[in-house]
Structure 1
Amino acid sequence: GRWAAEERCWPPCCCWRRLRPGCKAPEHFSFAMPTNPIDQSEFPVGTSLKYECRPGYYRRRFSITCQNTLVWTSAENFCKRKSCQTPSDPVNGIVTIASDTNFGSRISYSCNRGHRLVGSPSAVCMLSGNNVFYFWQGEVLKIEPRVSCVKHTIYREATHSALRFYILIGVNL
């Protein structure tokens, strides 16, 4: 007879990959980052990876774990966006809040009738250190009256003339 070649696994540290499937590397989260670099493409069942919330979110550490179903536990409810103060309406204008005042959200400005906006019509809730604030995109916002027209009186009869040695340019009424 013949001897069948014995399948060996080398190096021993990595044999679990052949013996038992694991979870693929977890997805990238916009709200959190791993506390240690993830340098593997597959992880054995039961592996836990530690994360912390990114700036702009309330800082909190949490873990996700590779389950028997080869799916990572959810990370969705751990990081909550910080919130900017609710902006007040500018004089002669209004603020429109599209969804909320949380980190990353946008507000827009508009003017009351008879006024015009000088500067950016919107602002975004941005990060400054560990704090969030509304960041003005463009110039500082101002709302000012539109240029008003002065009522002009038109006379039915008018005459224009030029002094001697001067030339009248235009139409002589």
Structure 2
Amino acid sequence: MSPAWRGARAVLRLLRGLTILLLLLCPQAVRSDCIPPPDVPNATPALEGRTSFPEKSIVTYKCNKDFVKIPGKQDAVICLTGNKWSPIAEFCNRSCDVPTRLLFAVLKQPYNRLSYFPEGCVVEYECRLGYTRNHSLSGKATCLQNFTWSKPDEFCNKKSCRNPGEIINGYINITTDILFGASIIFSCNTGYKLIGPSSSYCIVVGDTVDWSDPLPECKESSQTSKVTPTPQKPTTVNIPATQSQAVTRGTTTFRPETLSVGVSTIASGLVAGTIIIGTLILVRIFWDYGKSGSYYTREDNKAQNAMFHNLTVTPDASEVRLGKL
């Protein structure tokens, strides 16, 4: 072997060693990393601080504000061999929010599981329990151009509970109506006690509606006498004629036309009493004068005075004196 050939072989060994050394020191340069992921309309890649993307690296995108992922479309890329990313198409678009929630209806299947509602999308509702369908009105809503929902018709009506009936010795107060969600209140007549619930509600029972509680009973209260008392006839008393109406106090009724009799009776009593008192005073005066001396009167009154006061008349009937002459 010539010296020149031996020198060439030594150089090849040296180059092989340098190659192995480079592979150990710079592995990423050999593996051909991908460049940063591509831009996608209306979406942003979730890099999480990464700056290098080796082969088989996966990057996922998130839709920007006011945009929603289109169901079934890819939202991630993979770094392939040869420093290339896997292809990705636009997958974010504008969408209406979740369809309007209705008090009387819910979304039909499968609309209640969707999250993407593009312009022109139509959803359909069905009545909730406790309501019945009005087929003359539409049960649909549409995502409009401004990405708001059209206002649905009120296409469901409340179901009606049955007639609650009647309570013996009581009554039922229907506050509004007897439709689904309504309430009724029970009460008893005076002298009776409520036994059972005081109210009931029209609720869903199976696939229809009915009252939540049965009717109560009204039983006679133990404090109420079973014998009805005989009503007393009112007593009337007169009041002045200026009073135009009767005034009732307790069991006594005052009437204007009867008071004058009582007033006249009182006035008559006062006059009689005055006469009697005056007569007694005159008797006392005459008695005092009789004790103190003789009575000198006119001739036509002497006999009457003698008889009234038990006096003695003189023989010539000229005067009267006390006692015997």
Per-residue deviation at 1:40?
Answer: 3.6
Per-residue deviation at 1:53?
Answer: 0.4
* SS of aligned partner of 2:212: strand
- Contact conserved, 1:53 with 1:60, CA < 8 A, in 2? no
Corresponding position of 2:120: 46
Structure possessing the higher relative contact order (Cα contacts under 8 Å, 6 or more residues apart): 1
Aligned identity (percent) is 31
Measured in 2, the distance between the counterparts of 1:57 and 1:104 equals 11
TM-superposition CA deviations, 1:31-54 (whole Å, max 9, x none): 212221423444112111121101
Corresponding position of 1:144: 219
Corresponding position of 1:159: none
Amino acid at match of 1:105: A
Q: Indicate which of 69, 82, 90 corresponds to 2:146.
A: 69
* SS of aligned partner of 1:43: coil
Bigger helix fraction: 2
Per-residue deviation at 1:131?
Answer: 2.5
Structure 2: unaligned runs, 5 residues or longer: 1-37, 43-72, 75-88, 227-325
- Contact conserved, 1:52 with 1:60, CA < 8 A, in 2? no
Corresponding position of 1:160: none
* SS of aligned partner of 1:109: strand
**Pair 1:31-2:108 in alignment:** no
- Contact conserved, 2:191 with 2:224, CA < 8 A, in 1? no
- In the TM superposition, 1:95-106 aligns within 5 A as 95-106=172-183
* SS of aligned partner of 2:157: coil
Amino acid at match of 2:119: V
Tell me the number of residue pairs that the alignment of Structure 1 and Structure 2 aligns.
141
Corresponding position of 2:209: 132
* SS of aligned partner of 2:222: coil
Amino acid at match of 1:80: N
Per-residue deviation at 1:90?
Answer: 1.1
TM-score (structure 2 length as normaliser) = 0.39
* SS of aligned partner of 1:51: strand
Amino acid at match of 1:57: Y
- Contact conserved, 2:167 with 2:215, CA < 8 A, in 1? no
Structure 1: unaligned runs, 5 residues or longer: 152-173
Corresponding position of 2:261: none
Q: Where does structure 1 differ by over 6 angstroms across 4 or more consecutive aligned residues?
A: none
Per-residue deviation at 1:72?
Answer: 1.5
Structure number with greater Rg is 2
* SS of aligned partner of 1:126: strand
Measured in 2, the distance between the counterparts of 1:98 and 1:76 equals 27
Measured in 1, the distance between the counterparts of 2:187 and 2:150 equals 44
Corresponding position of 1:164: none
Per-residue deviation at 1:102?
Answer: 0.8
TM-superposition CA deviations, 1:134-156 (whole Å, max 9, x none): 120xx7511111113569xxxxx
